[in-house]
Structure 1
Amino acid sequence: MKLRRVVLGLSITAALLTGSVPATAAAPARLSVSGANVVDPAGNPIVLRGYNWGHWGTVQPKDPGDHVAAGANSVRIPLRWWGEWKDNVDSYDDDPDNASHIKDEHLTLLTKTIEQASAAGLWITLFVDSDYGQGANGSRENFWTKPEKRQEFKEVWQFLVRKFKNTPYMGAFEILPEPKPINQTDEAVRKFYEEMTLAIREIDRRTPVVVGPNDNYSCSKLEESYTSIDPKIIYTCNYFIFEYPLNRIQRITDFRRDYNVPMWINQVGIEGCDTDDVALGKANTVLDAFKTNAIGWAWWTYRLNGTNECTHGIYHLDPTTPTGWKLKKNWRNLVNGYLAA
């Protein structure tokens, strides 16, 4: 299977390589891919470590500087489009005259958030989440059954790439997290990513693209996600921590070695109160394994748009505090301790 995909993608890969655009004053430096490594603009391997700004509209002005001070070199930023979330989170705009298909106020907030990260020198992974599109909760109306929505999603990405392709520190475009379309094969999911990758490459041949496996980014399906459609692909899978903390490390390192491609974990996290020593211990075990194996990661998540201190989040909402936020100090200390290279 791997050989077949390599042969099919060889001519496309060669075209992309020869058509790459050099970095100039008008085109800021970019990350790239060299074998199993993500490399910085100087060609040196870089292990991306940072936080998810995963909950819409929660970023505070001090956050980028705090991340950099702790040693982070990257951040993962969402746009949520065509889905079911809390009020005022969905960015989908059904106005046929809006070519971006994104609500203006959401685009303004996304731009501000990206500018905050860029100004701090954090490499940004921009992802577009779509509950409906990915087939979450068994949705039968998704990007595989609704071709008109698939086309709109492609147009969303092409708009975003045009808008941000010259933004400093735009690190990667993560097409769609956690696909799980009902009754669709792993191959169908891979072909979706290939189609979207080529749509992005019509506009930007420099910025890496992030793809992952079917079944909610399952690490057990990494091989099925492999594609040779483009030479600058970073692979990902989810690493929420449950009973057996290290049960996916070998799959990740084997895939990276066997296919000679970079791996980066888009979401690693575990629920737990600030005094939950068991959860803290599991998280420490996983982050230590990532460090030992040079696996990049983004912690889920930095600020939680909720008041439950015993779920995910370094900060959670607390109206009794002066800032409206309460810090889980043990979790911040643990995660920050693994951010520095």
Structure 2
Amino acid sequence: MVFGLTTAAVLLAGTAAASAAAPARLSVSGSNVVDPAGNPIVLRGYNWGQWGTVQPQDPGDNAAAGANSVRIPLRWWGEWKDGVDSRDPDPGNPSHIDAAHLALLDQTIKQASDAHLWITLFVDSDYGQGAGGRPDNFWTNPVMKQQFKEVWQFLVRRYKTTPYMGMLEILPEPKPIGQSDAQVRAFYDEMTLTIRGIDKRTPIVVGPNDNYSCSHLEGAYTTVDPKIVYTCNYFIFDNPLNRIKLITDFRAAHNVPVWINQVGIESGDVDAKTKARTVLQAFEDNNIGWAWWTYRISGTNPDTHGIYYADPNEPDGWHLKPAWLALVNGFLVA
């Protein structure tokens, strides 16, 4: 059963996982993400990318398979296939986040933290990023940009003492019309400094213009903060290794870490499993961390993304693709 918003609100009533003492945090050293002891760590895991699909057993199952991380969204100001928008338009709500959605986010983060999975929290905004050529976005609408900034200020304060809060990913897949790589980078720099006014420890994830295109990585490079982790999308197509050198060259040129926020392929694609193995092995060979897109998908099409897809004929409403689970899990352990 998918967690409902009412259930989440009852369970958590807007609370967040926290500890009295400052928890251990990841950091950045040269081209490595490092664990709290200073040892290099390659983050590998799944996206829990479809809102509200996380099941009670998922964190433990991910961890038992060898995952050390998870990527978790908040959907804010936009339209998505799962019909979710967590934005609260009430001007009296300083967080700008719907209370029931915030409770569900709290619950999901607590589940991951309790399983000792390093969390990458990202705030997705289809409208804000300029998806589909939308002209009203964070580069053109200062009111919504300010609200987005206040969302991040609220979230950073809320989860500042949450164990296993690994990285903060500001905004995925920017593609604002008429905005250069430098203008996109300036947006990230401004948001980074906003976050650093509250939390100086947790690494921040930024990516390039043109929908997180790996070919735009150079334009994303910034010196605004020393704890930056770079990312780009790696959806797998006919030439599966065509972006590996772009990633490793950028990493070597600037001595910075690159982690892939989304790698995946539709199950029904020709030679999909062979291509997936090829890419994941290349990541392994080059010490590139990744998050597979995605663990559960709310659609019912077995030929698209998702280790699990929705199936009303199954007792729990989910159908597992066992061969895909075995394939991805096989690359979670170094």
Alignment-derived partner of residue 55 in structure 1 = 50
**Pick aligned residue for 1:244 from 231, 239, 245:** 239
Paired residue type of 2:39:
N
Alignment-derived partner of residue 150 in structure 1 = 145
**Pick aligned residue for 1:325 from 304, 318, 324:** 318
* CA distance, structure 2, for counterparts of residue 127 and residue 215 of structure 1: 18
Alignment-derived partner of residue 211 in structure 2 = 216
**Pick aligned residue for 2:126 from 128, 131, 138:** 131
Q: SS at 2:271's partner residue?
A: helix
**Pick aligned residue for 1:140 from 122, 135, 138:** 135
Q: SS at 2:54's partner residue?
A: coil
Write the mapping of 1:1-341 to structure 2, written as runs, cut at 5 A. 26-86=21-81, 88-273=83-268, 278-341=271-334
Q: SS at 2:143's partner residue?
A: helix
CA-atom RMSD in angstroms: 1.1
* CA distance, structure 1, for counterparts of residue 240 and residue 121 of structure 2: 27
Residues 176-213 of structure 1: per-residue CA shift (max 9 Å, x gap): 00000001111000000000000000000000000000
Paired residue type of 1:303:
R
* CA distance, structure 2, for counterparts of residue 85 and residue 174 of structure 1: 18
Q: SS at 1:172's partner residue?
A: strand
Q: For residues 40 and 25 of structure 1, do their structure 2 counterparts lie closer, same or farther at Cα, with a shift above 3 Å needed? A: farther
Deviation of residue 61 (structure 1)? Answer: 0.3
* CA distance, structure 2, for counterparts of residue 133 and residue 338 of structure 1: 34
Paired residue type of 1:90:
D
| Contact kept? 2:28, 2:203, Cα under 8 Å | yes
Deviation of residue 84 (structure 1)? Answer: 1.1
* CA distance, structure 1, for counterparts of residue 205 and residue 93 of structure 2: 27
Q: SS at 2:60's partner residue?
A: helix
| Contact kept? 2:82, 2:298, Cα under 8 Å | no
Q: For residues 271 and 70 of structure 1, do their structure 2 counterparts lie closer, same or farther at Cα, with a shift above 3 Å needed? A: same
Deviation of residue 41 (structure 1)? Answer: 0.1
* CA distance, structure 1, for counterparts of residue 101 and residue 84 of structure 2: 8
| Contact kept? 2:51, 2:82, Cα under 8 Å | no
* CA distance, structure 1, for counterparts of residue 220 and residue 270 of structure 2: 35
Residues 238-265 of structure 1: per-residue CA shift (max 9 Å, x gap): 0000010000000100100110000000
Aligned structure 1 segments of 4 or more residues deviating by more than 4 angstroms: none
| Contact kept? 2:50, 2:82, Cα under 8 Å | no
* CA distance, structure 2, for counterparts of residue 271 and residue 25 of structure 1: 43
Alignment-derived partner of residue 14 in structure 2 = none
Q: SS at 2:89's partner residue?
A: coil
Deviation of residue 26 (structure 1)? Answer: 1.3
* CA distance, structure 1, for counterparts of residue 248 and residue 79 of structure 2: 34
Deviation of residue 32 (structure 1)? Answer: 0.1
| Contact kept? 2:75, 2:85, Cα under 8 Å | yes
Paired residue type of 1:294:
N
Identity between Structure 1 and Structure 2 (%):
73
Deviation of residue 319 (structure 1)? Answer: 0.8
Paired residue type of 1:246:
L
| Contact kept? 2:26, 2:202, Cα under 8 Å | yes
Aligned length: 316
Alignment-derived partner of residue 6 in structure 1 = none
Paired residue type of 1:145:
T
* CA distance, structure 1, for counterparts of residue 262 and residue 51 of structure 2: 16
